[in-house]
C-alpha cells in the first residue's frame, strides 16, 4: 500500500510502498479516506514532539475512514462502520491499524474530510475553554493565532459558549476568516498593539494561546484580574518565560493543555468533550474550515503549505 513515511530525523518524510498492516488484539484496521495535518506533525519530523514514535513510521495523527478488519478478540466497531480516530501516527496511508477504543462513530451528515479535520482542533479548544478555563457567558476571550488550525475552532467555540471574542491573526485575509467564524473584534498581529487594543476593549478574561513568544507577553499584560491564560503551543518557536510576580499581583492563572495527554490518564474528558462537539456539529453550530486538500501523492506539498503558514483552518490529505 502507499504511505508517507519518516525514515529518520535527518531526512524529510517521503512516499513509500509498504505491506498492508494486520490488526492486533483490540485494534481495528481502517481503509483510510482522509488524514488531517497538524503543527505537531512538523515537530514530529524533527523528533521535537513529546509523543514522537521511533522512526521509521508513517506520518499522520488523525484519520477518518471505514473499518476494514477487526483484530483478534476485538468486538467492534463493526466492519463497514464510518469512524474517526486520533492514532498519534499512521494516518498518511491507504490502510492503518488503530486502538478500537479510540474509534469515534461519525454522524451521517459528516464527510471524511470534515471528520479528519475535527478531533484535535475542536477537541483541544473545547477541553481548553470549557474544562480547563471554565469560560463563562459574557466573558471576553482573546484568541491568538485565530485563523490557524486550533485558533479558528477556539473562535467558534468561544461564540457558542457566549463569550465576546477578540481574534488576533496576521493580515486582513486571515482576519476575514476569523470574522466569518464569529469574532467580535479583530487585531492584526503584524501591525496592531495587542495590549493596547485589548485594554481599550476593557481587557480580557481568558487568553487562548497556540503562538507563544511576544504575543503571550502582550496578552498577559492585557489581562483583567483573575484572568486565565491557556498555553496551547508555540507556533512562534519561542516558549514564553512567565513573570510569576505579574501572576501574583493580578491573580492570573496560566494553564497548560496537551489534549492528547488526557487519553492516557483521563480519557473520559476527551470522550465527553467529543460527544458535546458532535452534538454541536449536528446542530450546525460548528463547521470545520478546511482551506487546502491534497491527494496522498502530494503529502509533501501539503506539509509545505502548513509549514509556510499559507493555510487557514486545516489542511487535509485524502486517499482517493
- Give me the residue spans of the domains in the chain: 2-118+288-318, 121-260
CB 270 within 8 A of CB 118: no
pLDDT over 90 at 320, yes or no: no
* Torsion on CA atoms 100, 285, 312, 51, rounded to nearest 10: -30
Count of CB atoms situated within 10 Å of the CB of 58: 22
Q: Which residues contact 76 (CB under 8 A, 6 or more apart)?
A: 70, 100
Structural fold of domain 121-260: Rossmann fold (3.40.50)
Place of cell 501591525: 191
pLDDT over 90 at 60, yes or no: yes
Q: Give the mean model confidence (pLDDT) for residues 134-152.
A: 97
pLDDT at 9: 96
pLDDT over 90 at 54, yes or no: yes
Is the pTM here over 0.85, yes or no? yes
pLDDT over 90 at 138, yes or no: yes
Mean pLDDT of the chain: 96
Q: Give the mean model confidence (pLDDT) for residues 137-159.
A: 97
pLDDT over 90 at 284, yes or no: yes
Q: How far apart are CA 45 and CA 311, in angstroms?
A: 19
Domains 2-118+288-318 and 121-260 share a fold: no
CATH number of 2-118+288-318: 3.90.180.10
Q: What is the pLDDT of residues 218-267, one digit of tens each?
A: 999 999 999 999 999 999 999 999 999 999 999 999 999 999 999 989 99
pLDDT at 76: 86
Q: Give the mean model confidence (pLDDT) for residues 142-151.
A: 96
Q: What is the pLDDT of residues 87-119, one digit of tens each?
A: 999 999 999 999 999 999 999 999 999 999 999
Amino acid at each position: 500500500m502507499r504511505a508517507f513515511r519518516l525514515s529518520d530525523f535527518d531526512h524529510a518524510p517521503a512516499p513509500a510502498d509498504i505491506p498492508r498492516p494486520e490488526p492486533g488484539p483490540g485494534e481495528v484496521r481502517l481503509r483510510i479516506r482522509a488524514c488531517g495535518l497538524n503543527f505537531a506533525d512538523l515537530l514530529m519530523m524533527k523528533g521535537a514532539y513529546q509523543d514522537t514514535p521511533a522512526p521509521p513510521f508513517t506520518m499522520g495523527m488523525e484519520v477518518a475512514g471505514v473499518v476494514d478488519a477487526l483484530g483478534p478478540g476485538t468486538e467492534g466497531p463493526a466492519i463497514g462502520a464510518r469512524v474517526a480516530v486520533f492514532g498519534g501516527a499512521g494516518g498518511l496511508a491507504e490502510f492503518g491499524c488503530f486502538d478500537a477504543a479510540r474509534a469515534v462513530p461519525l454522524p451521517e451528515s459528516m464527510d471524511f474530510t470534515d471528520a479528519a479535520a475535527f478531533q484535535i482542533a475542536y477537541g483541544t479548544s473545547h477541553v481548553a475553554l470549557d474544562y480547563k478555563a471554565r469560560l463563562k457567558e459574557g466573558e471576553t476571550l482573546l484568541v491568538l493565532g485565530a485563523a490557524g488550525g486550533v485558533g479558528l475552532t477556539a473562535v467558534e467555540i468561544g461564540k457558542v459558549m457566549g463569550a465576546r471574542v477578540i481574534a488576533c491573526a496576521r493580515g486582513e485575509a486571515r482576519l476575514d476568516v476569523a470574522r466569518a467564524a464569529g469574532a467580535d473584534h479583530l487585531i492584526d498581529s503584524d501591525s496592531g498593539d495587542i495590549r493596547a487594543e485589548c485594554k481599550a476593549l476593557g481587557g480580557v478574561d481568558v487568553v487562548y494561546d497556540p503562538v507563544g513568544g511576544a504575543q503571550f507577553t502582550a496578552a498577559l499584560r492585557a489581562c483583567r484580574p483573575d484572568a486565565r491564560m491557556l498555553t496551547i503551543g508555540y507556533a512562534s518557536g519561542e516558549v514564553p518565560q512567565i513573570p510569576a510576580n505579574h501572576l501574583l499581583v493580578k491573580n492570573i492563572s496560566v494553564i497548560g493543555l496537551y489534549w492528547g495527554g488526557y487519553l492516557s490518564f483521563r480519557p473520559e474528558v476527551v470522550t465527553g468533550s467529543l460527544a458535546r462537539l458532535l452534538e454541536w456539529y449536528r446542530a450546525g453550530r460548528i463547521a470545520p474550515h478546511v482551506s487546502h486538500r491534497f491527494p496522498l501523492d502530494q503529502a509533501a506539498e501539503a506539509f509545505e503549505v502548513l509549514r509556510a503558514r499559507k493555510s487557514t483552518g486545516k489542511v487535509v490529505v485524502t486517499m482517493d
